[in-house]
Structure 1
Amino acid sequence: MPKKFIAKWMPNPETLKDHKHLKMFGERLHNQNLWSLNRHSAPGAFAVGLFVAWIPIPFQMVLSAALAMVFKVNIPIAVALVWLTNPFTMPLLFYVAYLLGSQILGQEPQAFHFEASLAWLQASLNTYGPALILGSVVLAFASALFGYLTINNLWKYSIMFKWQQRKNRGKSKQT
């Protein structure tokens, strides 16, 4: 696992704990698992971050940080991963979620016409909302499971690879 690479980009936990907006979380932020990279906190953080990235709501980073605290996984990784859905990727990703939701519900996808009005927003929530939410939740669970299993297996294989290297070095010293 590229632990050193990830650790280099992570913020300092002490700085974040003393941040004026984060002090409201008090002692909850002092849990070491929220800031360390280990084989438990990293896969869980990927699961949380990828799950929240698919949920079509504002303030995804706040939800991701809250869930990371609940599940006691790495906060910086969980929060960073929600940026997979950024202003550039969001339209395509949520369109895919809408298409998947429409297919699951057995509906024909509706043509999309934007209007800047409250009436259009209400009508769109009724028309597009159920399929978008269903597709988003399905993709959120699938992505979370995929991310967790992938990082967990990469971590496991990385450890096995290091042990094999140590074993091989020990053999070469004996000869």
Structure 2
Amino acid sequence: MAKKFFQSWLPSPEKVNQLKFMRIFGQRTLNPVLWYVNRKSISHAVFIGTFWGILPVPFHSVFIVLTVLLIEVNLPLSLTLAWLSNPLTVVPILYLGFWLGSKIFHVNMIDKDMILGVLHQILNWVKNFGHGHIDLHLAKILVTGLVLEALLSAFVLYICTRIIWRWSVLRKWNKRFHP
């Protein structure tokens, strides 16, 4: 049941290969292994897509494709999960990242004055064409929190995918043998 769902929902290799940024990877993305729909491939793709999707890095789709090519798991699902960080979700993702980072480094949660100070530093840095001071202490807190958030979220969704897939298979078997 889960396999049929993913096979009907995921796009074809040709459709994904037509994306402009996929041209840099050539024919490697047409490898049939990257299009398998099974429990291992889908759950690993969920992990990769969630991890890179939560990290608000530029060109995270390229990082996803590179990781998928290295590990050989389902490509279209990983790319779909790249859109976890979007204009609607980026604020909660960043807030949770700051919160986790502040817990790790044992600092108080960032307040309005601290954020305004950082924005002022960034604006001055931009106005002066890259010359000036930016306090990287907050960046360390944020990056640590974001990486931890991405790892935890990816691991939880990985486990949930494995459990739901197994539940789906067992349910199908029970229906077959116990109508």
The TM-score normalised by the length of structure 2 is: 0.81
Structure 2 counterpart of 1:112: 115
| 1:61/1:17 CA distance change after superposition, 3 Å | closer
Q: What SS class does the counterpart of residue 37 from structure 2 fall into?
A: coil
| 1:118/1:76 CA distance change after superposition, 3 Å | farther
Structure 1 counterpart of 2:176: 166
| 1:13/1:140 CA distance change after superposition, 3 Å | same
Give a deviation string over 1:71-104, Cα, whole Å, max 9, x none.
1111111111121210121022112101110111
**Backbone CA RMSD of aligned residues:** 2.3
Structure 2 counterpart of 1:137: 147
Give a deviation string over 1:4-23, Cα, whole Å, max 9, x none.
34333322113434666534
| Worse-superposed segment, 51-60 or 23-32 | 23-32
Structure 1 counterpart of 2:156: 146
| Aligned counterparts of 1:88 and 1:129: Cα–Cα separation in 2 | 22
| Aligned counterparts of 1:129 and 1:55: Cα–Cα separation in 2 | 13
Gaps of 5+ in 1: 170-175
Count of aligned pairs between the two proteins? 168
| 1:69/1:164 CA distance change after superposition, 3 Å | same
Identity of counterpart residues, as a percentage?
Answer: 30
1:155 and 2:171 aligned: no
Q: Contact 1:56 / 1:133 at 8 angstroms: preserved in 2?
A: no
Q: Contact 2:16 / 2:76 at 8 angstroms: preserved in 1?
A: no
Aligned-residue offset at 1:66: 1.8
Structure 1 counterpart of 2:81: 81
